[in-house]
Every structure is written in C-alpha cells, then in structure tokens.
Amino acid sequence: MTIRLLVMDVDGTLTDGRICIGPDGEMMKTFNCKDGYGIKHLLPEAGITPMIITGRESRILERRAAELGVTELHQGIHDKLPLLRRLMDERGLTSAEVSYIGDDLNDLEAIRFVGLSGCPADSAQGIIDVVDYVCRRDGGRGAVREFIEHMIRLNQSSEER
C-alpha cells in the first residue's frame, strides 16, 4: 500500500523541543530548512499530503506551516488519535496509507495506529521501542526530512512490485 498522508508532531520532531518564552509568551522556535524542503517540495512531488497535529498552540507554527504550504494544521490537540481517525475517515484513507512521526508518549497511540511510523533519534525510549523507523537525526535537525526520504523510497519500491 502506498503512503498518502504524513502526520507530524512539532515540539521535539519538527523542532529540537526547546521553547523560548518571554514575558508576552512564546517568542521563538527553531525549524530545520532541510525538513522544510522535504515538506514543501518532496512530499507534493510524491503525492503525499503533509499534516501537523500538535498539543501546543503557536502563532509561530501557523506562520511556518503557511510558508511550507501545510494547510492541515491542528493545534491544541492532546488526544491525537480520535482526530486522526476522523480526518482519515473524511479522506477515505486506511491506516496503511498513513505515516506518523513523533517523539514522545503523547504520540504513542497514533504511532501504533498508522501503517508506517517513525521518530527522531532523541525520542523517548517508549517511542523508539515501537516505531518502524528510528531516524539517525534528532528532532529539529533533519529527522523529518530523513523520514520523508525513507517513506518515499518505500512508496517507490511498493509501486515497482
């Protein structure tokens, strides 16, 4: 089965997990440009839709998602699996057509549900123990790009069969 949807966590996955907070709230997050290129260019070329589901809410993330063309941004979601199931049903997707990359225990249910799962190298051990693919790179340091490239290779090899 071909992967058609990539769901990504943010803090610790698309970022290194650090959150800079000033007196007026969140001030800064650091994103990786290689991850961004993979999301903006490689995924659409491969026919894979990017989606973000995150527990935090951030205007910074809204801006980054818009830059990358990610129109499926769901923030403030602490129980991610029910939303993921609903969105899959709306799109007529099976779990085998969905991949997920996350780094911590709040991602565990979704990771177990999808057809292909991955995590950054510096993820919580409880995640590393159950995913299909553990990236060599840390969160916010190219792990998402690495996972995207892995996913595209798998899609291409399944199409050749």
At residue 83, the pLDDT reads 97
Band the pLDDT of 72: cuts 50, 70, 90: very high
For 5-160, which CATH class? alpha beta
At residue 26, the pLDDT reads 72
Distance CA 114, CA 26 (A): 31
At residue 51, the pLDDT reads 98
The yes-or-no verdict on residue 101 having pLDDT over 80 is yes
Mean per-residue pLDDT for 75-96? 96
At residue 141, the pLDDT reads 97
- Run of H or E residues at 93: none
At residue 131, the pLDDT reads 98
Tokens 């993921």 belong to 84
**Domain extents in the chain:** 5-160
Question: How are beta strands 72-74 and 98-101 bridged, if at all?
Answer: unpaired
Q: Is 79 part of any known ligand binding site?
A: no
Per residue in 102-155, pLDDT (tens digit) is 999 999 999 999 999 999 999 999 999 999 999 999 999 999 999 999 999 999
Query: Who's near 144: CB < 8 A, 6+ residues apart?
Result: 8, 13, 14, 32, 35, 38, 39, 101
Q: Is 11 part of any known ligand binding site?
A: yes
At residue 23, the pLDDT reads 85
The yes-or-no verdict on residue 161 having pLDDT over 70 is no
At residue 22, the pLDDT reads 84
Q: Is 9 part of any known ligand binding site?
A: yes
Per residue in 8-43, pLDDT (tens digit) is 999 999 999 998 888 887 788 899 999 999 999 999
